[in-house]
Amino acid sequence: MTSPENILPPLDAALKVHIAKMATAIRVLSMDAVQKANSGHPGLPLGCAELGAYLYCHLLKHNPKSPAWINRDRMILSAGHGSMWLYSCMHLSGFGLTLEDIQHFRQMNSKTPGHPESFITPGVETTTGPLGQGFGNAVGTALGLKILAKKFNTDEFALFNSHVYALAGDGCMMEGVTAEAASFAGHLALDNLVVFYDANDVTLDGPLGESCSEDTRGRYRAYGWDVYEVNGHDVDQIDRAVRQAIHHQKKPVLIIMKTLIGKGAPTKAGSHIAHGAPLGEEEIRLAKELLGVPNEEFYVPRSVYDFFREKLVLDAQIENEWKKLFENWSRTFPEKRAEFDTMLQGKLPSDLEQRLVSLQTKPSISGRKASQDVLNYLAEIIPQLYTGSADLSSSDMIVLKKYPFISKDHMGGRNIKFGVREFGMATEATGLVQTRMIQPVIGTFLTFSDYMKNAIRLAALMKEKVIYQFTHDSIFVGEDGPTHQPVEQLAGLRAIPQLHVIRPSGSHEVKMAWIAALTYQGPTALILSRQNVRDIPETILPYAEGLGRGAYIVRKEKEKATHTIVATGSELPLAMDVADALEKIGKSPRVVSMPCFDLFEMQPESYKQSVFGKDTGKRISIEAASEFGWHKYIGSDGLAISVETFGASAPASVLAKEYGFTVETILDRIFSS
């Protein structure tokens, strides 16, 4: 039997001295940085200083000089408001954050923003701040590493054997997304995940007991976690709990640390006053006096830096030993190595467009079914593609038919059942992509994107390449009624910076939408119909001339344009029918397909003018959703055929008449407006 000592070296007296010194340094740097910025949250950094020192002096298997090493332990700060805790740890342990960076905490263009941002600060695993989402990211990353271990590890070679650690606070535990993610992690028995819970019993507004009195320990045990409880300021207790937790770990682990918020602040410790405001110069002077350090700004003993200078050599050796293992594995399994490289580099076939164009799909099918055909084809040529759904895989058509579902006993599948946990699913998908070897595609109904919105927003902020397949995209869902019929969701998603929102029409545009999603280095939302959509032959254009432009002309006017009709998705065939009717009465209409606002905005001004420039006649948009955002393209005097109320429970054909999505009604509105 493997002993805990073989997993983690003993915590000897000399090491405990270094941990104590680092804990003091974390407190000093955090107090001073928040005070200098006159903004920030000193409470968590002071209260969790011992944990930070223990993690970075002893527990974490990583190489700060190579922060992207694929088999590193991950440390995720879910309680992102305590960012100075993470920045202090990273600075002291050699991640490249300088003392000047610490001194520029929360300042413009600094590497130390108010909440950790992975795209700004090397070594920060994910962007956190909205509470609970870092917890969900940690669950997703842990799952991703389990998947990769199953795929690439052998009896002789353990390429993936790292842990994911996270630090969460009382606020994280109260957010609903954490419950979703914890339930999911327990269900899959993620035995590479350890969450430290900073249980200081204080929230921003006051004592925790004023808003929460649950049995967190019992709740997590019910989820299927192992739970330990320690004094968060006692390094020996933390160490014993960690050793017990990771020794033959079979479940995710929660370590509840009872801490004193703002520990070290003589008059403010233990109070919500220490949570989110500078301590004040006099409080800091007294704190430093109690800590036994000089009353100097940003004071760190040379011995702390010296310790980590030596430790960095050992950290590099750990990575180098793994690299030797990796090279031996590569020689033994060259085919696995080739697939590893494909997944790590996110390679796509060079002839992807040609392949998709030649893929046979049924004519005039729903967007969701066309996407299902594409997805199942892509899975055969893109090994990094994994899909998952919020208990709707049979409706959102996201299942990869040739592959099994992932379970705690079978991590070799490529389909994930996230359960009815949309918010959790979205945070976990971000965690999956943060393994840098998995391309997640997750699905649900468009109206349920509201449950996911904040996670989508953070993925967009980080430009993480998550693909969201949202189906049942309009009132034409039909009989399910207004609770399931999206109206405002398209406008809301389009408003998120760096998220590409694509609503394709017909099977060819769906294929091209997948090219857009797979080649964009950021998140994409595919908006797909439940009902069949008539194929428009004029949409069958090369990617660069059609959907890749965001908007393009599918029907040119025969003379000077009298009307420009622009539509998306299932309304494009209707736009073509309206154009036919206009031509019959002597008008000269232009029809534009506009599946993606974002791609259109990336085009040269000359191209934009060629589509929506002068002399294009009266402009009409047709989309079964809110008109919000359309007047940028159709003008303030343009006519938006849209849905401005909630839907109703009725067959789609009845709804089309009731809400004005017929040729006759649209013509009446054109000539009466």
> CA–CA separation, 620 vs 563, rounded Å?
7
Pure H helices in 262-333: 281-291, 302-332
Which own/partner contact pairs does 32-36 have at CB distance under 8 Å and 24+ positions apart? 32/284, 32/297, 32/298, 33/84, 33/87, 33/88, 33/102, 33/103, 33/105, 33/112, 33/298, 34/84, 34/105, 34/278, 34/279, 35/278, 35/279, 35/280, 35/281, 35/284, 36/103, 36/105, 36/297
Per the structure block, which two tokens stand in for 370? 């066309």
Judge contact between 376 and 424, C-beta under 8 A: no
**DSSP-assigned letter for residue 78:** S
Q: Which residues pair with 232 in a beta bridge?
A: none
Closest CA to 268 of 286, 293, 250: 286
Reference 201, options 254, 135, 275, 144; nearest CA is 275
Q: Residue 476: phi, psi to the nearest 5?
A: -75, 5
Backbone angles phi, psi at 172, to 5 degrees: -60, -45
Inter-residue contact 444 to 456 (CB < 8 Å) = no
Q: What is the 8-class DSSP label of residue 34?
A: H
For 533, counting Cβ atoms within 10 Å of its Cβ (0-12 exposed, 13-18 middle, 19+ buried), the class is buried
Give Cβ neighbours of residue 420 (< 8 Å, ≥ 6 apart).
390, 391
* Closest alpha carbon to 87 in 131, 133, 37: 37
Both tokens of 596, joined, read: 């993606």
Beta bridge partners of 621: 566, 640
Of the candidates 55, 66, 111, which has an alpha carbon nearest to the alpha carbon of residue 87?
Answer: 111
3-state secondary structure (DSSP) of residue 493: helix
Nearest Cα residue to 19 out of 307, 317, 316, 309: 307
Q: Where in the sequence numbering do the catalytic residues fall? A: 422
Residue type, 41: H
- With 0-12 CB in 10 A as exposed, 13-18 as middle and 19+ as buried, what is 20? middle
Helix, strand, or coil (residue 591)? strand
The two structure tokens encoding residue 26: 């974390």
Angle, to 10 degrees, between the axis of helix 83-93 and the axis of helix 302-332?
80
Residue 292, token pair as written in the block: 């036994």
Half-sphere exposure (Cβ direction) of 148: Cα atoms closer than 13 Å: 30
User: Tokens 């606020």 appear where?
Assistant: 171
SS3 content of the chain, % helix, strand, coil (to 5): 45, 15, 40
